[in-house]
Every structure is written in structure tokens, then in C-alpha cells.
Amino acid sequence: MSDVLREICSLALFRNMREKEPLKSLCEFLLKMGPGYSMEEMIDSYGHFVSILYEMRPDVDLSAAIWDALSEDMNPYLRHRIDSVIKPEETTKASTLLKLTAERELDLLTRIGNYTSFDFKDAMVYDGYLPDFRSSHIDFKKRYMTMMDQIETVGYGVYAKYHFFRIKGGELLPVTSPDPISVDDLFCYEKQRGRVIENTKRFSEGKPFEDVLLYGDAGTGKSSTVKSAARLFIDQGIRLVEVPKSELHGLSEVIQMLTEVPLKFIIFIDDVSFDADDDRIGSLKSVIEGAASGARKNIAIYATSNRRHMIKETFSARENEIHTSDTIAEQMSLSERFGIRILFDKPNKDTYLEIVKGLMKLRGITMDEEKLAIAAEQYAIRGGGRSARIARQFVDSL
């Protein structure tokens, strides 16, 4: 087993792997198998190593645990592949030695990942209880090189594992349980939804796209439309990053970070409204203007708002007629920076009932049509008016 330790120590491109679990604990165990250590120390380090596998993987799979660490490892080979995608004109061709070294080290990691608890038990020559683990025998070279070839759609690391993110405290965090809404769950507003989907499709294909503002009455499905459109194109490299209004000051830094990733990101700003003197308006304006200058080819801005111009209009702003035109121009200047502006208005009685019926059919619920129409309308009155959200809540209540 000393050969295994030497192989891990010889890693160059993937050297960070030695400082990550499970290889870190595996190295400590292999070291304790050498001279100068007691049987108790060896057994203790083995138990610690296997306990790490139990924490990392419910299937206690060494090969899979190594892959988890490898897929998130930022190394020189991955860095070169990323640069070749986002800065092709500045990146020199990968040397044969670089690729050959990567392939050899991936083969080495494959051999290490193939070990099972029985291999180590045989080498330890101990008849007492020792915990077991398994290996799924992953071919790291094949899987890793496939990931590199598909990096613009599959992603890498956290971007391969997760598809929806949020910004909190300036940090990009994965959404582990995203809203499962899909286009099949949405009814009516086909024209509005079609425009968002078509723009997102163009964005995913690297064609000219626009930033999108979805505005109109609350509960009409604006946010669901954005999330479901993004979900349609996950396999084409689309990722959704939700940015709360409170984080807009740092939006340019977020965009700078994402431009270094060879995927396409929809920055989603939900339920936006500003006071006229809010300095975050300028931050958003400057970011949107970046699309026209070509500064963010892999980033689109999608926003929702209950207001057409996204800026609250106060009575005092109207008092001075001399400045009325300036006020209106300022209010319009933000929304007009969005190339696509889509109205989601409150549904009428027939549309509302159509949404209700669509949701009921989706869930296999049946009800007398006359009774349904009365019950749905009464629910809408109690809920404050008709909307897609109220329709969904009514069907939930059934």
C-alpha cells in the first residue's frame, strides 16, 4: 500500500486533491500503515478514513467520493480549458505534455478509486472488526475529459451540480431545492411566455438576445415564467442567478465573476420597484447598458415588476409641473433599457377559469363545471381578485 501513497504524492496538475477529502484521510491512513506506527494507530486512522466516506456519501463509495472532489477541483488543466472558451483569442493551445499529464493522473486516480475495504483489510493483516466501503469503479479519465468537452453546457464543479443560484452577502450560493415549476404547469399567457422562451433560446444558442422586463399585476405568473424558461434550457448551459434588490449595489461584481465561467447566466431580479431617489437605479442602468457594449455576452438580465417603469411615483413628484417631463423621462429611462418589455395583466373571468381548469386537469381533479365556476369566483373575491396565483391557491385548496 506504500505505492498508493507515493502515487497520491506524485500528483501535479491535481495536487489540490491531496488536501481534500477523501484523499486527505486516505493519505493519513496509508502513512500509519508504514513503519513506526502501532496497530492501534493504523486501525484508528482507517476508521477515521471510512467515517469520512460515510459523511460524504450515503453509499460509502470511494470512487464516487473522489469524483465529487475532482469535479469541484480548480486545477491548471481546468483553468486552461475555461480560458480557451472565454478568451479563445488570448489563450495558447494546450501542450501535448499538459494533456498527457492530465490523462496519466486521471488514470492514477481511477486506480486509487478502485480500491475497496477488502483490499485494505488484506494489507492490514487484522482479524478484528473493520468497517467496509465500496467502489463503483468510475473511469475518471473518460468522465473528466467528457466534462471538459461539454464544459459550455454541462459546466463544472458547483455549476454542474446545481442549476439555480442566489446572491447573498455578495456570495454566489447554490439553491439546493429550487422551485420545480415548469412550462407544463403554466396556463394562458402563451404569447407572453413564448416571447421569454424564444429570447432565452436565442441566448442559449449564442445568438443576439435582449434583457427582459416582465411587468404587470401581482400573481400573474411573471416569476414562474422566468424560472420555467430557464429550466427549459439547463442542458444548453443556462443557469439562473437570483439577485435580491438589496444586493444590487454589488451587481457589477457578480457579473464580473460570472463572465469568468463558460456558461450562460440569467440574472433574475424579482419584484423590482424603486423610490425615485434610490441610488441602486444607477447600478442597474449601468449593468443593462453593458449588453449594448458587448461587455456581458454570457449574461442576460431578466426582471419582474408590478410597475411599468419600476420606479414609484409620489404625489410630491407631480406637484411641480415644471419638472414633470424630467420626472417622467427619468422613470422611463430605466425600463426602456430592457430590449423586451412584456405586460402580464390581470386575467378576466374566462381566463381565470381557464387557468383553474388547466391546473385541475394537471392534478386529476374533477368537479361540476357550474359549481366550479361559482367556487373559483368566490375564492378569488375572498383572495383579493383574480390571478394565476389565486387560481393555483384555489386548486391547492381542493
pLDDT digits (tens, 9 = 90+) for 325-344: 554 555 566 778 889 999 99
Q: What is the mean pLDDT of residues 65-79?
A: 95
* Mean pLDDT for the chain overall: 89
pLDDT at 242 over 90: yes
DSSP state of 311: B
Q: How confident is the model at residue 282 (pLDDT cuts 50, 70, 90)?
A: low
Amino acid 293: pLDDT: 47
Amino acid 299: pLDDT: 94
User: CA-CA distance, 280 to 278, in Å (whole number)?
Assistant: 5
Name the range with the highest mean pLDDT among 237-241, 257-261, 276-280.
Answer: 237-241
Which of 137-151, 305-319, 375-389 shows the lowest mean pLDDT across its residues? Answer: 305-319
Are the C-beta atoms of 265 and 298 separated by less than 8 Å? yes
Amino acid 43: pLDDT: 96
303: closest CA among 334, 347, 260? 334
pLDDT at 324 over 70: no
User: CA-CA distance, 368 to 15, in Å (whole number)?
Assistant: 67
Q: What is the mean pLDDT of residues 72-80?
A: 95
User: CA-CA distance, 272 to 303, in Å (whole number)?
Assistant: 7
Q: Which residue has the cell 409620489?
A: 314
Q: What is the mean pLDDT of residues 131-145?
A: 97
* Cα angle, residue 292 at apex, residues 286 and 294 outer, rounded to 5°: 100
The more confidently predicted of residues 156 and 331 is 156
Q: How confident is the model at residue 316 (pLDDT cuts 50, 70, 90)?
A: low
Q: How confident is the model at residue 185 (pLDDT cuts 50, 70, 90)?
A: very high
Q: What is the mean pLDDT of residues 316-322?
A: 52
pLDDT at 364 over 70: yes
pLDDT at 132 over 50: yes
Amino acid 195: pLDDT: 97
Q: In this structure, what C-alpha cell is assigned to residue 129?
A: 472488526
Amino acid 273: pLDDT: 74
Fold of 164-344: Rossmann fold (3.40.50)
Amino acid 330: pLDDT: 52
User: CA-CA distance, 31 to 44, in Å (whole number)?
Assistant: 12
Q: Where are the alpha helices (DSSP H) in 129-250?
A: 140-149, 158-161, 190-204, 222-232
Q: What is the mean pLDDT of residues 345-361?
A: 93
Q: What percent of the chain has pLDDT over 90?
A: 75
Q: What percent of the chain has pLDDT over 70?
A: 89
Render pLDDT for 194-230 as a digit per residue (tens, 0 to 9).
999 999 999 999 999 999 999 998 899 999 999 999 9
pLDDT at 319 over 80: no
pLDDT at 351 over 60: yes
Q: In this structure, what C-alpha cell is assigned to residue 353?
A: 377559469
